[in-house]
Amino acid sequence: MPVIWRCRDVALDVSTRAQVMGIVNVTPDSFSDGGRYLDPDLAIARCHELLAEGADILDLGAESTRPGSQPVPAAEQWRRVEPVLAALQRARPEVVVSIDTRSAEVAARALAAGARIVNDVSALADPEMGAVVARDGAGLVLMHMRGTPETMQQDTAYADVAAEVAGFLEARRARARAAGVADECIAFDPGIGFGKSAAGSLALLARISELVALGRPVLVGASRKSFLARLTGDADPPAGRVPASLAAAAIAVFEGATVLRVHDVAATVRVARLAEAARAAKRAGAAARSLP
């Protein structure tokens, strides 16, 4: 059965081809690219670079949500992101742009400026967010996080991390549906590194298929995150975590994830093609064996 992720006028068929979402953080303090794209011209150039590398979606963020970070007021988020979104819209209106924000006000402005997806790491903590997304039929990423970025690493113990994440995402899916968001607009995200130990993030990566079973596309954002370095022993800076990030992307897609949020688009596109072909071959083998 094809799985469609509807994002306004665009219907992404994610069942055969994983979507690579390139990250552009228009921030001074993001953990990997903080300060590199705060200048709108540099951010716009980065967007075009990621599209040339094969990005299917661009995720624009104006607020770092790394552990310990403080919220950025909506007006400041919009001041950072507006020129980038406007320039992209003028040059490439067909490009699927996602706005990475917890603020319904920022989401509403971005949708009015042409964004097609709201990537909400708080999964509708802002009471207005569901209605804003529903009004435009936008795509919605619901991500699991315990607490807020400021507090989330204080308690990373779970009895069963995958089961708890699945239960949380189902509850937020119900909240979105109650606000009028169509089910086909929703994607799930386990929230790698958001209130998780390295072991918890690894367990979620290895058990992605349990979230895929909920029937919506699963987005994985493992790119350059610190849990990779804890497992591999790679030292800082985050750019040194690219090989481990690519391995994580391969595992995620092989296990059924269909959207990858990454810093390193060109390499991830190649990994995605290999991993989804391997996943299809495994399924074909299983189907052949089950023939009478």
Interface of this chain with ligand HH2, residues 253 to 292, rule: CB under 6 A: 261
CB 155 to ligand HH2: min, Å? 19
Triad 46, 49, 53: Cα angle to 5°? 135
| Residue 221 binds ligand HH2, judged by CB under 6 A | yes
Which residue, 33 or 276, has its beta carbon nearer to ligand HH2? 33
Choices 28-36, 108-116, 200-208, 245-253 (CB under 6 A): range interacting with ligand HH2: 28-36
Please identify which residue in 58, 115, 141, 202 interacts with ligand HH2, judged by CB under 6 A. Answer: 141
Alpha helices in the chain (DSSP H): 40-52, 74-91, 104-112, 129-136, 161-178, 198-206, 208-212, 226-232, 242-254, 265-289
Choices 37-45, 57-65, 109-117, 155-163 (CB under 6 A): range interacting with ligand HH2: 57-65
| Residue 200 binds ligand HH2, judged by CB under 6 A | no
Please identify which residue in 19, 64, 122, 258 interacts with ligand HH2, judged by CB under 6 A. Answer: 64
Q: Is 79 a catalytic residue?
A: no
User: Are residues 266 and 20 in contact, defined by beta-carbon separation less than 8 angstroms?
Assistant: no
| Residue 98 binds ligand HH2, judged by CB under 6 A | no
User: Are residues 139 and 117 in contact, defined by beta-carbon separation less than 8 angstroms?
Assistant: yes
Q: Tokens 């992720």 identify what position?
A: 5
Identify the CA nearest to 57 among candidates 128, 147, 141, 124. 141
User: Are residues 228 and 249 in contact, defined by beta-carbon separation less than 8 angstroms?
Assistant: no
Q: Is 225 a catalytic residue?
A: yes
Give the binding site for ligand HH2 (CB under 6 A). 23, 25, 27, 30-32, 61, 64-66, 100, 119, 121, 141, 143, 189, 191-192, 219, 221, 261
